[in-house]
Copies of this chain bind each other. A is one copy, B any other.
Amino acid sequence: MTIDQASSTLLDSIRDLGYRVTGTRRQVALAMERRSEGFSAEEISSDLPQVGRATVYRALKLFQNAGVICKLALPNGAPRYAIATGGRHHHHSVCVRCGTVTEFRDSTVERVVRTLSTEIEGEMVGHRIEFFVTCPACLSAVALPKSQIN
C-alpha cells in the first residue's frame, strides 16, 4: 500500500475536524498502522527519525482528539496507544510483558457502568477500564525456558 492510499480512516478523521492532512501526518498514520498491536509515542518517533519528536506528540494528540486512537496506560502508568478499530465504545486489555493491546467489547460491562452511574454520587462523566494480561505469545515465551530446564 502506498502512502497515499493508506490510513484513509485515520486521515479522514482529522480532515473532518478541519485540520490539514500533511505528509508528516500521513507518515505518522502509516507508522501507527504498522504497529497495530499498540505503540508508545517513543516507538512511533523512532520509526520516523526524519519526523521531529514534538510533531509526533502533536499528531498523536490530534488523532486522539479525533477519537481514532486510544491512549491507555500500563500498570506503572507508562502511556500506550492503540488504534480504535470499531467506532463503538470499547475497552482494552494490555499485555504487561510486550505491550500488545487488544480491544474488546462486553455488553455486561456497559450495563454495569450504566447501573453504577446511578449509584455513585455525583454526575458520572467518564470511566477507565483496562485489563492487564500476559498474552498467549508471552505466556509461551516464558513457558519455554522452564521446559528447557527439565
Contacts and interface: CB of A to CB of B under 8 A. Distances in A.
Interface of A: 71, 73, 75, 77, 79, 93, 95-96, 102, 104, 106, 108-109, 112-113, 115-117, 119-136, 138-139
16 contacts: A75-B128, A96-B126, A102-B121, A104-B116, A112-B112, A113-B131, A120-B131, A120-B133, A121-B136, A122-B134, A122-B135, A125-B132, A125-B133, A126-B132, A127-B129, A129-B130
B73 A95 contact: no
Contacts of A127: 129-132
The 8 closest A-B pairs by CB, nearest first: A122-B133, A126-B132, A122-B135, A128-B130, A127-B131, A123-B134, A93-B120, A129-B129
B108 A112 contact: yes
B138 A134 contact: no
